[in-house]
A = this chain, B = another copy of it.
Amino acid sequence: MIEQDSEIVFNKRVAADTFFLGLRSPRIVAEAKPGQFVMLRVGRGMDPLLRRPFSICGVRDDDLVLILYRVVGRGTTIMCDVRGGESLSVLGPLGSGFEMPHKGEKPILVAGGMGIAPLIFLASTIEPGSFRFLAGFGSGEEIVATDEVGLSGIDLSISTDDGSAGHRGLVTELLENRLAGFNGNINPVVFACGPLEMLKGVAAMTANKDVQCQVSLEASMACGLGACQGCAIRRSSEQAIAYYHVCQDGPVFDVNALDWERL
Q: How far is the CA of A45 from the CA of B74 in the complex (A)?
A: 9
* Identical subunits present: 2
Q: A79 CB to closest chain B CB, in angstroms?
A: 13
Closest to A47 in B: B47
Is A128 close to B, CB under 8 A? no
A43 in the interface (beta carbon within 8 A): yes
A48 at the binding interface (Cβ < 8 Å) = yes
A46 at interface by CB-CB < 8 Å: yes
| A188–B45 alpha-carbon span in the complex (Å) | 48
A44 CB, min distance to chain B CBs, angstroms: 8
Q: Kindly provide the distance from the CB of A223 to the nearest chain B CB, expressed in whole angstroms.
A: 21
Q: Kindly list chain B residues whose C-beta atoms are within 8 Å of the C-beta of A48.
A: 45
Q: Which residue of B lies closest to A49 (CB)?
A: B47
Contacts of A78 in B (CB 8 A): 45
**Interface 1/0s, chain A 42-77, versus B by CB < 8 A?**
010111100000000000000000000000001000
Note all chain B residues with C-beta closer than 8 A to A43: 45
- How far is A74 from B46 in the complex, measured between Cα atoms in Å? 11
Cα of A226 to Cα of B260 in the assembled complex, Å: 58
Closest to A77 in B: B44
Minimal Cβ-Cβ distance residue in B for A74? B45
Bound Cα distance from A165 to B185, whole angstroms = 87
**What residues of B have a CB within 8 angstroms of the CB of A74 in the complex?**
45
How far, in angstroms, from A45 to B77 measured CA to CA in the complex? 11
Binding site for B on A (CB under 8 A): 43, 45-48, 74, 78
Q: List 8 A-B contacts (CB under 8 A).
A: A43-B45, A45-B45, A45-B47, A45-B48, A45-B74, A45-B78, A46-B47, A47-B47
Given A45-B78, A47-B47, 6 further pairs, Cβ under 8 A: A43-B45, A45-B45, A45-B47, A45-B48, A45-B74, A46-B47
The 5 closest A-B pairs by CB, nearest first: A47-B47, A45-B47, A46-B47, A45-B45, A43-B45
